[in-house]
Amino acid sequence: MKAKNINTHEAFRLLDTSNTGLLSFGVFCHSIDSLSTLSQFIKEKLFARLDTMSIGLVSFDQFQDLLKKSNVKLRDAEFENKIQDSFEWEQ
C-alpha cells in the first residue's frame, strides 16, 4: 500500500467534519470510519499519538507534526477533486 499525494490541510479538513479546527476522539473515529476500516485499538493508539498534549483534542499543527515525523509524503498544491480513498493498493 502506498499513500497518495495528499495536502495536509485538505486531509485535516476531511477528518474535521465538525469544522472546529480541532479533532475530538469521537469526530476522529467517525471520520476514519468513513474512510477506512480500522480496529478501535488502532484508532485509540493513533489518536493518542496525535494528541501530544493529552487533552483529548488534536489541532492541525499536531496532525501535521506527526505526518512530518512519520515520513508521509504530502503535496503542497490544493486539491481539485475531493479525496475518496487515501490509499492505492499495490498488487
Give domain 2-74's CATH number out of 3.10.20.740, 1.10.238.10, 3.30.70.1560, 1.10.10.2840. Answer: 1.10.238.10
Q: How far apart are CA 66 and CA 8, in angstroms?
A: 11
What is the crossing angle of helices 40-50 and 60-69, to 10°? Answer: 100
Asked if residues 62 and 40 have their Cβ atoms less than 8 Å apart, the reply is: no
Q: Which cell numbers in the block locate residue 62?
A: 499536531
- Tens digits of pLDDT across the chain (91 residues): 334 556 788 889 989 999 999 999 999 999 999 888 889 999 999 999 999 999 999 999 999 888 877 765 554 443 334 444 455 555 5
pLDDT at position 81 is 41
Nearest residue to 15 via CA among 89, 81, 83: 83
Question: Which pTM was predicted?
Answer: 0.68
- Report the phi/psi class of residue 56: left, alpha or beta, with left for phi > 0 and alpha for psi in -120 to 50: left
